[in-house]
Structure 1
Amino acid sequence: MGSASTIKVIGIILLVVGAGLALWGYQLSESIGSEITQAVTGSETDKVMTLYIAGAVSFVVGLYLFIKN
């Protein structure tokens, strides 16, 4: 396997992981505990925001690596 194809595979993996983290954050934001926290404070919980940010960063890096070569 050449280095260009290895980078593409890593990019695809990061795309999938990023989408998975964002989906997990979305599902967590719909939980009862998170909705109560959101109703009281008016913002998402730290865990949900961490999952959204990590998912977005992973997705963008994966997309860059996939398109780069």
Structure 2
Amino acid sequence: MNNKIVGLILIAAGVALGLWGYDVYDSVSAEVTRVFNGDTPIEAWAGMIGGAICILLGIMRIK
């Protein structure tokens, strides 16, 4: 039972991180940076990849 709760918390945190990363990626300042430099902020990648990892770990805990 305890693993399922931890898994659900990881999934919720992963979704939140992924949404935060996408929000950073889609922000105006990130778009301006991409236009001039072609770079994406590291915070966006960290949020999206970290969110995906948390979701995968959460799914593994639930099973």
Counterpart pick for 2:36 among 37, 40, 57: 40
Amino acid at match of 1:32: V
TM-score of the superposition, structure 2-length normalised? 0.90
Partner of 1:56: 52
* RMSD, aligned α-carbons: 1.0
TM-score of the superposition, structure 1-length normalised? 0.83
Stretches (4+) displaced over 4 A? none
1:1-69 to 2 correspondences below 5 Å: 5-67=1-63
Unaligned runs of 5+ in 1: none
Q: How many percent identity over aligned positions?
A: 29
| Alignment: residue pair count | 63
Deviations 1:11-44 (A, max 9, x none): 0000000011000111111111111112223242
Unaligned runs of 5+ in 2: none
